[in-house]
Structure 1
Amino acid sequence: MARITHGIACSHIPVLGFAFDNHKEEEPYFKPAFEGFDWTRRFMDEEKPDVIVLVYNDHASNFDMKVIPTFAIGCADQYGICDEGYGPRPVPPVEGHADLAWHIAQSLILDEFDMTIFNEMDVDHGLTVPLSMMYGHVDKWPVKVIPLAVNVVTYPPPSGNRCWLLGEAIARAVASFPEDLKVQVWGTGGMSHQLQGPRAGLINREWDNMFLDKLIGDTQDLRWIPHIEYLRETGSEGIEMVMWLIMRGALGKSTRALHRHYHVPVSNTALGHLVLEPVDPTVPPSPTFTREAADRAPIA
């Protein structure tokens, strides 16, 4: 059966995409940020996952204020690259894994998550920058990707607990897929940053590193952090970190860190990166739906 082997957390700072596309990785300003991914690129080359469930947020590139899905999953065979106002990034189109994506979508909906399903969409820097940081310059991405977009752009975003529960549900879905696949779950966005107003440029190193610390091990403290704490401590865009909790929830009871990287400044944003593996990957039972419960349910 398919199995989740690792989780990766990664900021998706757009200026890193600019630096990457223009071959500025060795420039003094950008070099410390990119060097923190040297280990991960070697790791990905050795690990060779088959599929990545890549959790990100669209930045009003594919979606707009007409339709705001809380959780949206891509079930296509391929995804184009968004034009974010300066042309699409010069990176390959993203190849999907439609069979696994549809299986996950069905499983999540039966697990009582109201998913929005997309059979056609383009993806922006929220998804492509992490791929570039992990794989470098390639003519074709060496992995299939299932995009999972989360609304953290406008209110109300999902709670940390709801995101953690979604991660657990993704783990159940992957574990029930019969094909032998190595699957990773990536949570992207963050860390602390605010892009506007009198607090623009806010960086909270202490809070960011607390958050990284608590993704490791068996604590579940992060799932209970209220929205107001993210806003107060990490700025208006720090709320993106709830997407990391989907990744963490998918890894089971406990994790160990294989690699960690934290760097400021990158633009006016803190850069965070973790590679985690599950210590106890036991898939939790569904809190809302079980086959036994369905069998006992009366027929209408």
Structure 2
Amino acid sequence: MAKITAGVSTSHIPAIGAALDNGRSAEPYWAKVFSGFDFSKRWIAEEKPDVVFLVYNDHASAFSLEMIPTFAIGCAESFKPADEGWGPRPVPIVQGSPDLAWHIAEAVIQSDFDLTIINKMDVDHGLTVPLSLMFGQPEAWPCQVIPFAVNVVQYPPPSGARCYALGKAIRKAIESFDADLNVQIWGTGGMSHQLQGPRAGLINAKFDNHFLDLLVNDPEAAARIPHVEFIREAGSEGIELVMWLIMRGALADTVEELHRFYHVPASNTAVGHLILKNPA
């Protein structure tokens, strides 16, 4: 049967992708950011996941205000990098895992979670930047990827509790898939940041690090954080952290923290990153 071996959380800041794509990753400002993923690249090269179930949010690339799914699962064979206004990122096409994706969709929908099934879409920096941070700049991504898009852009986004419970349903679905697969769950976005208004540039390191602690040791408490607290403490875009709770819900109650990285600033946001090992 398929097995979830680890969870990864990371920010998906677009400027990180631009720095990498334009050969600026060794500059002093950016070198500090990328150094936090040195361990991660070595680790994942040894782990060799077959499939990454990657939770992210679209930034008006695949979806617009004309159609806003709360949860959308990509079931296609492949997904092209999106043109976000300056051309697609020069990264490989993402190869999907349609058999597993359809199995997850069926199992999760029959577990009373409504998912939108996507058979064609382009994927933006929310998905490709985490892949670049973990895998570098390969000619082809070394594993299949199931994109799972969450609406955290247009009100109302799903609650942390709903996302955490969804993660548990996803875990059950994956573990019932009849294939010998090493699956990782990634939650992306965050950490604290706000892109507009009087609080633009807000970073709350105290809240961010407390959230990291809760995510590892008391995820149910993290899942109880209400929307208003995320917005007040982590800024309007801090609500993206609910996506990390899908990742955490897909893991066992007790996990081993293999790596933690937190850095300010990268662009006008905080970078957070965790690698959590699921029990064997």
Identify the residue that residue 3 of structure 1 maps to in structure 2: 3
Identify the residue that residue 38 of structure 1 maps to in structure 2: 38
Instruction: Tell me the TM-score normalised to structure 1 length.
Output: 0.92
Residue type at the aligned position of 1:186 = W
Identify the residue that residue 170 of structure 1 maps to in structure 2: 170
Bigger Cα displacement from structure 2, 178-187 vs 213-222: 213-222
Do the aligned residues in 1 keep the contact of 2:75 with 2:146 (CA within 8 Å)?
yes
Identify the residue that residue 13 of structure 1 maps to in structure 2: 13
CA positional deviation for 1:217:
2.6
Identify the residue that residue 124 of structure 1 maps to in structure 2: 124
Identify the residue that residue 251 of structure 2 maps to in structure 1: 251
Alignment of 1:239-278 (within 5 A): 239-278=239-278
Q: Secondary structure at 2:195's aligned position in 1?
A: coil
CA RMSD of aligned residues (A): 0.8
Q: Describe the shift of the 1:219–1:103 C-alpha distance in structure 2 as closer, same or farther (beyond 3 A).
A: closer
CA positional deviation for 1:219:
4.5
Residue type at the aligned position of 2:89 = R
Do the aligned residues in 2 keep the contact of 1:217 with 1:256 (CA within 8 Å)?
no
Q: After superposition, what is the alpha-carbon deviation per residue over 1:237-271, rounded to whole angstroms, capped at 9, x for unaligned?
A: 00000000000000021112100000000011000
Measure the CA separation in 1 of the matches of 2:82 and 2:131: 15
Identify the residue that residue 229 of structure 2 maps to in structure 1: 229
Identify the residue that residue 215 of structure 2 maps to in structure 1: 215
Q: After superposition, what is the alpha-carbon deviation per residue over 1:193-249, rounded to whole angstroms, capped at 9, x for unaligned?
A: 000111000000000000011111355200100000000000000000000000000
Do the aligned residues in 2 keep the contact of 1:101 with 1:146 (CA within 8 Å)?
yes
Unaligned runs of 5+ residues in structure 2 are none
Do the aligned residues in 2 keep the contact of 1:78 with 1:96 (CA within 8 Å)?
yes
Q: Describe the shift of the 1:153–1:219 C-alpha distance in structure 2 as closer, same or farther (beyond 3 A).
A: closer
Larger of the two Rg values belongs to structure = 1
Do the aligned residues in 2 keep the contact of 1:5 with 1:278 (CA within 8 Å)?
yes
Instruction: Tell me the TM-score normalised to structure 2 length.
Output: 0.99
Q: Secondary structure at 1:264's aligned position in 2?
A: strand
Measure the CA separation in 2 of the matches of 1:246 and 1:232: 21
Measure the CA separation in 2 of the matches of 1:171 and 1:132: 25
Measure the CA separation in 1 of the matches of 2:48 and 2:18: 26
Measure the CA separation in 2 of the matches of 1:239 and 1:206: 16
Identify the residue that residue 190 of structure 2 maps to in structure 1: 190
Measure the CA separation in 2 of the matches of 1:219 and 1:35: 27
Residue type at the aligned position of 1:212 = L
Identify the residue that residue 206 of structure 1 maps to in structure 2: 206
Identify the residue that residue 75 of structure 1 maps to in structure 2: 75
Do the aligned residues in 2 keep the contact of 1:193 with 1:200 (CA within 8 Å)?
yes
Identify the residue that residue 114 of structure 1 maps to in structure 2: 114
Measure the CA separation in 1 of the matches of 2:172 and 2:208: 29
Measure the CA separation in 2 of the matches of 1:162 and 1:241: 13
Do the aligned residues in 1 keep the contact of 2:8 with 2:273 (CA within 8 Å)?
yes
Q: After superposition, what is the alpha-carbon deviation per residue over 1:165-205, rounded to whole angstroms, capped at 9, x for unaligned?
A: 11000000001001000000000000000001110000000
CA positional deviation for 1:32:
0.5
Measure the CA separation in 2 of the matches of 1:218 and 1:266: 27
Do the aligned residues in 1 keep the contact of 2:219 with 2:248 (CA within 8 Å)?
no
Measure the CA separation in 2 of the matches of 1:189 and 1:276: 17
Do the aligned residues in 2 keep the contact of 1:218 with 1:254 (CA within 8 Å)?
no
Query: 4+ runs of 1 displaced by more than 3 Å?
Result: none
Residue type at the aligned position of 2:167 = G
Measure the CA separation in 1 of the matches of 2:35 and 2:52: 23
Do the aligned residues in 1 keep the contact of 2:219 with 2:245 (CA within 8 Å)?
no
Q: Secondary structure at 1:123's aligned position in 2?
A: coil
Q: Secondary structure at 1:29's aligned position in 2?
A: helix
CA positional deviation for 1:72:
0.1
Measure the CA separation in 2 of the matches of 1:21 and 1:33: 15
Measure the CA separation in 2 of the matches of 1:265 and 1:96: 33
Identify the residue that residue 93 of structure 1 maps to in structure 2: 93
Measure the CA separation in 1 of the matches of 2:6 and 2:53: 11
Do the aligned residues in 2 keep the contact of 1:95 with 1:143 (CA within 8 Å)?
yes
Measure the CA separation in 1 of the matches of 2:17 and 2:88: 11
